[in-house]
Amino acid sequence: MITAIPDFTITPRIDQVGVEERAARFTKRSLKEDTKLNGLKLALNMIDLTTLEGKDTDGKVKQLCYKARHLHDAYPGLPTVAAVCVYPSMVGMAKKALGDSGIKVASVATAFPSGQSTRDVKIRDTKYALAQGADEIDMVISRGKFHQGEYNFVFDEIATIKEVCGDARLKVILETGELGTYDKVRKASDIAMYAGADFIKTSTGKIPSAATMPVTLVMLEAIRDFYYKTGKKIAMKPAGGISKAKLALHYLVMLNEVLGEGWMNNEWFRFGASSLANDILMQLMKQRTGVYQSGDYFAND
């Protein structure tokens, strides 16, 4: 139970060199073949397949949902992905296309990706996505207000959207590439968690600087410290720039060492990456057959 909200004007100090060196060490771990195979399957099950383009059509969303439901066709026994993430206007279509698959529908909201709108618009945006059937909401924080030092504004906005969400899980996107320093990433993580975020998420995928292992490490350590203080588990979602299976395995090694086995499932960790699914499938087929299949064998959408 959260009994006290910290003073967000106090800046947590992050050892930049230490974080970057520790994150680099996770990439040096060697994995046995059976561990690698299990890790690839786990990573696949943690993916939020995503299409967030102005040119999205009903057909494109249907194709993405078909892919989500049929990834295992060439390799029976594979798990499904965790969710399909779309704009609010496409939630109803995705919900129908996914049917009883058990795959969740996530929707971006709150004037994604900029967050530059009024609170009333953000609330209505969220309510519309939920009314269409969204299981999860991915909101963006108001980075402009954050940089102005208006931390209570950011806190209150997240808390308001969480209240609107009700039972739907809320992922709070920090857009870490726009925050500037690890200290600010830690501060934004703390604000989001104390305000009621169910997930903290690195990025929108709409700017060149997306998820990195050092940034994700800072956020995982924030989750760990929050859990020690409050007893409440928070989930993590690195998003953007994670397109290779090998890199996904590095993230899972880091997740296990920082937060432990209790976070090693898609309730508590997600990858925001669509192209990652294809590379994982290629690696799994290599494990199974001994040869790589061309990427042309897998749908891009």
If one counts every other C-beta atom within 10 angstroms of the C-beta of residue 290, the result is 7
Question: CA dihedral defined by 2, 269, 49, 66, rounded to 10 degrees?
Answer: -100
Q: What pLDDT was estimated at residue 293?
A: 56
Contacts 24+ apart (CB under 8 A), 76-80: 78/41, 78/44, 78/284, 79/41, 79/44, 79/45, 80/45
Any idea which residues carry the catalytic annotation?
Answer: 138, 201, 237
Q: Are 213 and 254 in contact (CB under 8 A)?
A: yes
Phi and psi angles of residue 107, each rounded to the nearest 5 degrees, phi first: -135, 135
Residues 229/6, Cβ–Cβ less than 8 Å: no
pLDDT at res. 12: 78
Which tokens is 149 given? 């030092």
Residue 296 pLDDT: 46
Residues contacting 10, CB < 8 A, separation 6+: none
Return the number of other C-beta atoms located less than 10 Å from residue 24's C-beta: 12
For domain 16-296, give the CATH number. 3.20.20.70
pLDDT along the chain (301 residues), means of 10: 71 91 94 91 96 95 94 82 97 97 97 95 98 98 96 97 98 96 96 98 91 97 96 97 95 98 98 90 79 52 52
Domain ranges of the chain: 16-296
